Amino acid sequence: MAFLIRTIDFTAAGREIVRDRTIEQSELTIGRAAENDIHLPDLAVEQRHVRLFEAGDGMLGAESIGGLGFGINGRTEKSASIDPSVGAELALGSARLVISREAGAPVQITIKQVEKDEGAADALVGFELASALPSKRTMAWTFAALILVLLLSVPIVTHLTRDPVENDPENLTKGQVALDSTWSTGELSLAHHELEENCEACHVTPFVSVQDETCLTCHEELGEHAEMPRLANGMPPLSTGDAIQWNIAQTLGKEGPLGCVSCHSEHEGPIKLEASDQQFCADCHTDLDARLTDVSFGNAADFGDKHPQFRPQFFTAYSADKPKRISFSNKPVERSGLIFPHDVHVDENSGVARMAISLDQYGEPLECSDCHSEWSDEALIVKVTEQGGKPSDFGDFAPVNMEESCEACHSLVFDRAGPNFRNLRHGDVDDLMADLATMNRGPRQPVTAVRDRPGHFGRGGRYSVNFGRPMSAYIAVNRALEKTGVCGECHIPTTTNGRRDLIPVNLPHRFLMKGAFNHAAHDDDVAECVDCHATDTSDEASDLLIPDLDSCRDCHLGESAVETEEIVPSSCAMCHGYHTPTAPWRPEDHDLPGNGGNDTVAAILSSLRR
């Protein structure tokens, strides 16, 4: 077998010197000693280091002689099998022996010296992931700096340098503070949704919690539940834990437990304001009289179990200046100054019913709504503007109007002027006097020009009796204001300064002033008028036909009552609002984006969340 040994050296100038020699042997040795077939003058190489030999099938074997390994294809081995047609590289010291064979040619061993690779250790760095990624420190500082600048410094700086405005419900200055929406812990309630990008409208001063004063810049019209020291005195003492909490909170500048935000917490999502539960009211009201001894109303904790008897407000004496509040327990008697038996008017078999049937205006027996109609919006607005007060002061029903509701039967016609009838003016005794004074005092005109009594024979043979009212006698000035006169039908005669007069009618617009009642919620599906107002058994106007506590409890029990077809669990908020104790808690009075339909995404979400 032949080996072609090719040695490649370089001159100092870099020129390549190639020397070839052929060895005809079946094996050869490589080492530092001169007797080796391939002599490598390198201290790193053994005297006799490797033996190359024929291993059959054209393969070569390589074997360490001294027991020290040699490099082959980058690995250190003590023996190896080499296919010269594929090739291999032996490494001995700084020499690299490339073994190869062309077809039909002898095995060629090319010897080259390699420079010691100074960069090898550096190359190992490439194995580390760090060589393929930005450094941890760079990333860390970059992220931290981004956060501290964008999410902390920018909002603070823009907040400190903004132009503060006292009150900005119109959102005119929204967005003065940049990027502070990233500080929001959650969406605002629907009522405050407009302020979403206007954090500084509420968060006015750095590190100072939202102050009541700020809330009141917009909500100035809001009713106080009670005056401030009284409100605090009415509260039950805080538990030790709560007291500690509030102490800490107040030391840090929070408003106390009676501050706006202690109940109205924000950033809880786009929800509607919800009514407080019964316990919220009961916390104070269950034993309020123990702390506020001068309180004028009873304790309350649960409408079914613990609620004071109603005290409707009405006129308790004729001609009284002001109405009074009297509890139903004291058998109240109303002195409205009116004579009116409800029973006769609502009885379907009475003469009143017959009369009503005979009149086109009614056509059937009287119903409550024939006299009691709900306010028309215009009428209510007029009333509210005339008398001041709020719409809720005027109850659900407009006052009964004599001309519209009574006069169809209780006629005030007193005279005839040509084809027209003259009516007495209603409402003022002086007007009445004046009208009567102008009355035609002539003899009664016969109704027809026929004979007026039997015996007077007439050609037509027809008789007629004048059954017309004895007008002049009946409504004479003296008689009209008497008990049996035309006014006395409904009014109580009296004498004022020696002159005949009538007791003025004093009917309040609303009876239950301290709680709300909604007639619309109790319409025909729920109850008939007479179920609550005992008109069918009342024969005197002095009967107070307002339902008492027990009537309401037929259906309404406390919050924890079990709901059935009859029973409606009722919390305090159904009739009393915290800020409006005489009106119910009614957020629909507010013009809120969320109080329209219930089909907005936000509303659905908030209901789901609840």
Partner 1 sequence: MASIPGNRYAQDEKRRSADHVSFLKHKRFRYLWVALILSLLSIVGYAFIDQEPRPNGGSWYGYTLGTIGLLLIVWLSLLGVRKRKITEGQWSLKAWTSAHVYLGLALIVIGTLHTGFQIGWNVHTLAYVLMLIVIISGIYGVYTYATLPSSLSSNRKEMTRAQMLEALTALDRQLEAAAQPLDREQSDLVIDALGQDVFYGGALARLTGAYPGCKTKRALKRIDPNGSEAEARVHTLLSKRSDQLAQIRRHLRIRALLEVWLFIHIPATIALLAALLAHVVSVFYYW
Task: Tell me which stretch binds partner 1 (CB under 8 A): 151-159, 435-443, 449-457, 529-537.
Answer: 151-159
Does 164 sit near partner 1 (CB under 8 A)? no
Rounded CA separation 370/363 (Å)? 11
196 binds partner 1 (CB under 8 A): no
Residue 251 engages partner 1 in binding (rule: CB under 8 A): no
Decide if residue 86 touches partner 1 (CB under 8 A): yes
What does the buried/exposed string (b/e) look like for 491-518 if buried means 16 or more CB atoms within 10 Å of the residue's CB?
bbbeeeeeebbbbbbbebbbbbbbbbbe
CA distance 309 to 142: 70
- Say how far apart CA 439 and CA 441 lie, in whole Å: 6
DSSP 223: P
Q: Tokens standing for 595? A: 């109080």
Which of these, 488, 475, 558, lies nearest to 286 by C-alpha position?
558
Is 88 a binder of partner 1 (CB under 8 A)?
yes
**CB 51 → partner 1: shortest distance, Å?**
20
Strand pairing of 70-72 and 75-77? antiparallel
State the minimum distance, in angstroms, from the CB of residue 141 to partner 1: 7
DSSP 445-500: PPSSSSB-STTS--TT--B----S--HHHHT-HHHHTSTTSTGGGTB-EEEETTEE
Provide the minimum distance between the beta carbon of 129 and partner 1 in the complex, in angstroms, as a whole number.
Answer: 4
- Select the span of 12-20, 87-95, 398-406, 503-511 touching partner 1 (CB under 8 A): 87-95
Nearer to partner 1, 10 or 143 (CB): 143
Using the rule CB under 8 A, which residue among 132, 449, 562, 608 binds partner 1? 132
Q: Which amino acid is at 381?
A: I
CA distance 412 to 421: 10
Residues in region 197-236 near partner 1 by CB under 8 A: 199, 203, 206-210
Cβ atoms of 348 and 548 within 8 Å: the answer is: no
Q: How far is the CB of 356 from partner 1 (least distance, A)?
A: 56
Q: Which stretch binds partner 1 (CB under 8 A): 32-40, 54-62, 221-229, 252-260?
A: 252-260
Which listed range, 149-157, 292-300, 483-491, 556-564, lies at the site for partner 1 (CB under 8 A)? 149-157
DSSP letter, residue 147: I
Does 185 sit near partner 1 (CB under 8 A)? yes
**Least distance in Å: CB of 148 to partner 1?**
5
What radius of gyration, in Å, describes the C-alpha atoms of the chain? 54
Nearest-approach distance from CB 63 to partner 1, in angstroms: 19
Query: Considering the rule CB under 8 A, would residue 113 count as an interface residue with partner 1?
Result: no
Given 15, 116, 136, 456, the residue binding partner 1 (CB under 8 A): 136
Count CA atoms within 13 Å of residue 130 on its CB side. Answer: 8
CA distances from 598 to 167, 186, 229, 448, 607 (A): 30, 21, 40, 70, 9
Residues between 255 and 284 that touch partner 1 (CB under 8 A): 265, 268
Query: How many Cβ atoms are within 10 Å of 538's Cβ, its own excluded?
Result: 19
541 binding partner 1? (CB under 8 A): no
Asked if 147 and 139 count as a contact pair (C-beta separation under 8 A), the reply is no
Q: Where are the alpha helices (DSSP H) in 112-202?
A: 120-124, 136-146, 154-160
Scanning residues 547 to 606, which ones bind partner 1 (CB under 8 A)?
A: none
Provide, rounded to whole angstroms, the least separation between the CB of residue 371 and partner 1. Answer: 48
Residue among 147 and 290 whose Cβ is closer to partner 1:
147
Distance CA 552, CA 328 (A): 13
Which phi and psi angles does 146 have, rounded to 5°? -60, -45
Residues in contact with partner 1, shown as a per-residue x/- string from 58 to 77 under the rule CB under 8 A: -------------x-xxxx-
Looking at 2, 147, 157, 526, which residue binds partner 1 (CB under 8 A)? 147
Could you tell me the smallest distance in angstroms from the CB atom of residue 29 to partner 1?
Answer: 21
Instruction: Compute how many residues bind partner 1; rule: CB under 8 A.
Output: 66
Distance CA 349, CA 360 (A): 18
In the complex, the smallest distance separating the C-beta of residue 608 from partner 1, rounded to whole angstroms, is: 14
Please give the helix or strand (H or E) that residue 46 lies within, else none: none
Tell the smallest beta-carbon distance from residue 350 to partner 1 (Å): 58
User: Closest CB to partner 1 among 264 and 479?
Assistant: 264
488 contacts 482 by C-beta, under 8 angstroms: yes
Binding site for partner 1 (CB under 8 A): 71, 73-76, 85-89, 91, 96, 98, 100, 102-103, 110, 117, 120-121, 123-124, 126-133, 136, 139-145, 147-148, 151-152, 155-156, 159, 180-187, 199, 203, 206-210, 245, 252-254, 265, 268
